[in-house]
Structure 1
């Protein structure tokens, strides 16, 4: 080699080109680039993991089919309202939540294997790991939502409010999923002795059976109706239903944003601290 390879001008087989886009480790450009790489890494890993694919796509789709076959006609006959316009949004949110659980389990595995610690020692932006994970969550929720909406269309679900409303309907589960994912991330970075899957599954199950998508709010006991009507899943379901077939939109949308942004802000600092702690101690 005629010159030092560190200068990038060497002619040997191990010569490297001189860097021409050097950015600071803590710069916004580094945050974007490193987060994008982390996002791609996670998406590729999830795509190759059967458990993630089952929880994110197959389980929600089968749940939708089950609800439609077993309960769909009964709920429609009892309430006088087509059940499909509540069931499809409900299952979209269920897919977002259960997919986050699998993602959190993967995060815990990366902590235990020491992968987070190895990333932490590299010259990358310190926030890239968490930001990249949230970016991957957003993509996962979007793909899951599209698959479930497509299955719902086959079963009778329709978009009647135009293209802008349809596109906005895809945004609702992403916003909801970001808030939920932030909460699950906090739990995943706590002690490994915490039964993460069991705890979150109980919460998801309760939310799934006590919301306005399962049956109309009026079908629940009177004392329970205010709780069901204002829990986060019901607000998001009512928003998506209004975007699909019309109806009051402003109130459920405001409540959905309040719940989602509230969870995101509430768990943001604990998630950052927990992620840093997991990377340092892993």
Structure 2
């Protein structure tokens, strides 16, 4: 009797093992699909690459000398990290709008009924976001180097510098994904984009903290974007790194704790609708 029960369980165990073994290749296939679609989508390219690069050039041309004279430090060490984060957030918003389109067009539902691992779709979006963030950050750093930005703290600090927008971007993308899968309107996602723009203007990367009114300085000092910018400034120019980096990690982990489960549940619901 025991042998019969063991034999009956064997196909189930083998089937589950086979499903998990296929998760990685199926995730890679869907990751490639997302990256190709984003690359062919003008909205995503403009919001992720073109707009941030032009914003960096304009800010450096119009305000760079004034901010550098006021603070005594090249303004690029604030504006390059700030615009890198803006590019990360803008690209996530564009990706969330694309996700909403796929849901409305029924593409997510088609993938749901295919014989693929159910987790591959959501995991692929996380991997694709990471690739997009690193690519966009590299492009913006390259533009910054042309303008005069330098990695003055060495190779390891330069590598760690890429980790800050990666962590920040994954957390922000999780939040926007949760909003996108639970909302039927792209306007709500675009409202998140407006909020991220306000964070840019009230951050330590736009102008030095002392340039803000005293009532605004605590808000500017403790908002997540300022912490990330200060950590990136320390990794590139020099200065405090530990405290702003720990604060950035705390903000990002908090966002992941709050929005990760709603994003996964909402994605599942959107795929089955």
Normalising by structure 2, report the TM-score.
0.92
The correspondence for 2:80, drawn from 75, 88, 92, is 88
Cα shift at 1:78: 2.2
Contact 2:84 2:165 in 1 (8 A): yes
Say whether the 8 Å CA contact 1:25–1:125 is kept in structure 2: no
2:145 to 153, 168, 177: 153
State the partner residue of 2:6: none
Corresponding position: 1:209 with 2:201: yes
The secondary structure found in structure 1 opposite 2:138 is helix
187, 200, 222: which one pairs with 1:230? 222
Equivalent residue number for residue 16 of structure 1: none
Counterpart in 2 of 1:171? 163
| Equivalent residue, structure 2, for 1:114 | 106
- When residues 71 and 125 of structure 1 are mapped into structure 2, their CA distance, relative to the original with a 3 A threshold, is same
The Cα shift of 1:123 comes to: 1.8
Pick from 92, 100, 119: which aligns with 1:100? 92
Query: How far apart are 1:80 and its partner, in Å?
Result: 2.2
1:43 corresponds, among 26, 35, 42, to: 35
**Residues of 2 paired with 1:70 and 1:25: CA distance?**
59
Could you tell me how far apart the structure 1 residues matched to 2:69 and 2:19 are?
58
- Change in Cα spacing, 1:230 to 1:28, as seen in structure 2 (3 Å) is farther
Task: Show the counterpart of 1:198.
Answer: 190
Cα separation, 2, equivalents of 1:31 and 1:228: 42
Which residue matches 1:258?
A: 250
How far does the alpha carbon of each residue in 1:46-87 deviate from its partner, in whole angstroms, 9 at most, with x for none?
Answer: 112222111111110000001001111111122222211000
How does 1:263-278 map onto structure 2 within 5 Å? Answer: 263-278=255-270
CA distance in 1, matches of 2:15, 2:223: 44
Deviating more after overlay: 148-157 vs 190-199:
190-199
Contact 2:93 2:190 in 1 (8 A): no
Aligned twin of 2:47: 55
Tell me, which stretches of 5 or more residues in structure 1 are unaligned? 1-21
TM-score norm. by structure 1 comes to 0.89
* 1:137 to partner: Cα distance: 0.5
The residue number in structure 1 matching 2:132 is 140
Does structure 1 conserve the Cα–Cα contact (< 8 Å) formed by 2:176 and 2:189? Answer: no
Q: Alignment RMSD, CA only?
A: 1.5
Which secondary structure state, in structure 2, belongs to the residue aligned with residue 157 of structure 1?
coil
Equivalent in 55, 58, 68 of residue 66 of structure 1: 58
Deviations 1:227-265 (A, max 9, x none): 111111111101110000111110000011111121112
| Partners of 1:27 and 1:223 in 2: CA distance | 56
CA contact (8 A) 1:211 1:234 kept: yes
Cα–Cα, structure 1 residues 270 and 223, in superposed 2: closer, same or farther, change >3 Å? same
> Are the structure 2 counterparts of residues 23 and 171 from structure 1 closer, same or farther at C-alpha, using a change threshold of 3 Å?
farther
Aligned length: 260
| Structure with greater helix percent | 2
1:25 Cα deviation (Å)? Answer: 7.2
